[in-house]
Amino acid sequence: MEKIQNLINGNLIDPIKRKFLDNRTPRTGEVYSKIPDSDEEDVALAVSAAKEAFPIWSNYSIDKRSEILTRLSQLIEDNLEALALAESKDNGKPVSLASKVDIPRAVSNFHFYGTAIKHFASESHSMGNLALNYTLREPIGIAGCISPWNLPLYLFSWKIAPALAAGNCVIAKPSEVTPMTAYLMSKLVKEAGFPDGVLNIIHGTGPKVGQAIVEHPDIPIISFTGGTATGAAISKIAAPMFKKLSLELGGKNPNIIFDDCDFEKAVNTTVKSSFANQGQICLCGSRVFIQEKIYEKFKEAFVRKTKELIVGDPQDSKTNLGAVVSESHMRKILSYMFLAEKDGGTILAGGKQVKLEGELAGGYYLQPTIIEGLAYDCKINQEEIFGPVVTITPFKTEEDVLMMANSTKYGLSATVWTENLKRAHNISKALHAGIVWVNTWLLRDLRTPFGGVKGSGVGREGGFEALHFFTEPKNVCIKLS
Residues lying near ligand NAD in the complex (CB under 6 A):
146-150, 155, 173, 175-176, 205-207, 210-211, 214, 225-227, 230, 233-234, 248-251, 282, 384, 386, 412, 452, 456-457
Q: Which residues neighbour 434 within 8 Å (Cβ) at sequence distance 6 or greater?
A: 411, 412, 413, 449, 450, 451, 452, 453, 456, 457, 460
**What is the nearest approach in angstroms of ligand NAD to the Cβ of residue 148?**
3
Which is closer to ligand NAD, CB of 179 or CB of 394? 179
**What is the nearest approach in angstroms of ligand NAD to the Cβ of residue 161?**
15
**What is the nearest approach in angstroms of ligand NAD to the Cβ of residue 206?**
2
Q: Which residues sit opposite 43 in a β-bridge?
A: none
Q: Are 261 and 296 in contact (CB under 8 A)?
A: no
Which is closer to ligand NAD, CB of 291 or CB of 456? 456
Which residue of the set 282, 372, 384, 461 is catalytic?
282
Which is closer to ligand NAD, CB of 280 or CB of 291? 280
Collapsing DSSP to helix, strand or coil, 311 comes out as: strand
Closest Cα to residue 408, out of 274, 249, 258? Answer: 249
Q: How far apart are CA 452 and CA 140, in angstroms?
A: 24
Q: How far apart are CA 218 and CA 51, in angstroms?
A: 9
Known catalytic residue: 282?
Answer: yes
- Using a 10 angstrom Cβ sphere, with 0-12 exposed, 13-18 middle and 19 or more buried, the burial of residue 430 is middle
**What is the nearest approach in angstroms of ligand NAD to the Cβ of residue 478?**
40
**What is the nearest approach in angstroms of ligand NAD to the Cβ of residue 44?**
16
Closest Cα to residue 452, out of 475, 425, 433, 477? Answer: 433
Which is closer to ligand NAD, CB of 225 or CB of 367? 225
Known catalytic residue: 248?
Answer: yes
Collapsing DSSP to helix, strand or coil, 34 comes out as: strand
Furthest C-alpha separation in the chain:
82
**What is the nearest approach in angstroms of ligand NAD to the Cβ of residue 246?**
10
Which residue of the set 248, 384, 461, 465 is catalytic?
248
Q: Which residues neighbour 311 within 8 Å (Cβ) at sequence distance 6 or greater?
A: 319, 320, 321, 322, 354, 356, 365, 366, 367, 368
**Cα dihedral 383→388→391→397 (10° resolution):** 90
- For the beta sheet containing 11-13, the strands, ordered from the edge strand earlier in sequence to the opposite edge, are 11-13, 6-8, 199-201, 169-173, 142-146, 221-225, 244-248, 457-458
Which is closer to ligand NAD, CB of 298 or CB of 437? 437
Q: How far apart are CA 395 and CA 70, in angstroms?
A: 48
Q: Are 176 and 35 in contact (CB under 8 A)?
A: yes
Q: Would strands 471-479 and 221-225 be described as parallel, antiparallel, or unpaired?
A: unpaired
> In whole angstroms, how far apart are CA 190 and each of 69, 80, 120, 193, 452?
11, 18, 26, 5, 35
Secondary-structure breakdown of the chain: helix, strand, coil percentages, each rounded to the nearest 5: 45, 25, 35
**What is the nearest approach in angstroms of ligand NAD to the Cβ of residue 224?**
7
**What is the nearest approach in angstroms of ligand NAD to the Cβ of residue 173?**
5
Which is closer to ligand NAD, CB of 24 or CB of 65? 24
**What is the nearest approach in angstroms of ligand NAD to the Cβ of residue 272?**
17
Which is closer to ligand NAD, CB of 211 or CB of 381? 211
Q: Are 273 and 441 in contact (CB under 8 A)?
A: yes
Q: How far apart are CA 84 and CA 237, in angstroms?
A: 36
Q: How far apart are CA 370 and CA 302, in angstroms?
A: 9
Q: Which residues neighbour 203 within 8 Å (Cβ) at sequence distance 6 or greater?
A: 4, 5, 6, 15, 35, 36, 38, 173, 174, 176, 179, 182, 183, 209
Which is closer to ligand NAD, CB of 27 or CB of 173? 173
**Residues with active-site annotation:** 248, 282
